[in-house]
Amino acid sequence: MSKLIVIEGLDGSGKSTQLELLISALEKDGKRVRKIKLPDYESPSSTLVKMYLGGEFGKDPNAVNAYAAGAFYAVDRYASFTLDWKSDYESDKIIVADRYATSNSIYQTEKIAEADWDSYLDWSADFEYNKLGIPKPDAVIYLDMPVDISQKLMTGRYGGNESKKDVHEADVAFLEKCRKSALYAASRQGWQIVECSNGKEPYSIEKIHNEIMKIVDEELC
């Protein structure tokens, strides 16, 4: 039976590292695994996403409203599923996704008044899973890293060159709001939260990996 496992987290949360460790562990256990990374920047379907993140619609993330930006990403995910990994999903491979439709719940919900968050979350899920028809995740694992810590990690990743950060990565206030909306979405939509720090320093890569494996092993039982 096919499974879709999504790893979510703010920029700098260690998501890519943990995704690779998860895939390696599953493959060592004899599982058939397919990794997908979204947005698919190699595909023309991500053109509007790249324009948005590159600041062509405005340097402020809020220059593009949540519904428009959500649609940019949704179309890319639809194209990715239809043209790239649908056959793997239907052949019962475990699909491990680096971001998914759930990213709208993090990065776009924060643009909307909190009183309207539920309405946006319902719209986004209906649009992607029902209207567009991409698969619903079997498990969503959110890596919760405080923004001040993730900013330091990203600065290290870019060798201290802050200009390499995109419009999301560079806007600390925006990311703080995204963390709030992510934790709200996690509670409402049943995501699993993995704490990635003690509030001051990040936990070890191994400790975070072990927590992720507990969740995945339970899902695959």
> Cβ-count burial of 221 within 10 angstroms (0-12 exposed, 13-18 middle, 19+ buried)?
exposed
Q: Are 35 and 93 in contact (CB under 8 A)?
A: no
pLDDT at 191: 98
Whole-number pLDDT of residue 6: 98
* Predicted pLDDT of residue 185: 97
| Whole-number pLDDT of residue 202 | 93
- Tell me the sheet residues that pair with 95: 4, 34
- Return the pLDDT at 171: 78
Single-letter code of the amino acid located at 168: H
CATH class of 3-220: alpha beta
Whole-model pTM: value is 0.91
User: Tokens in use for 95?
Assistant: 């699909």
Per-residue pLDDT 10s for the chain (221 aa) are 789 999 999 988 999 999 999 999 999 999 999 999 999 999 999 999 999 988 899 988 889 999 999 999 999 999 999 999 999 999 999 999 999 999 999 999 999 999 999 999 999 999 999 999 999 999 999 999 999 998 887 776 666 555 665 666 667 888 899 999 999 999 999 999 999 999 989 999 999 999 999 999 999 98
Integer-rounded Cα radius of gyration of the chain: 17
186 Cβ contact list (under 8 Å, min separation 6): 140, 142, 192, 193
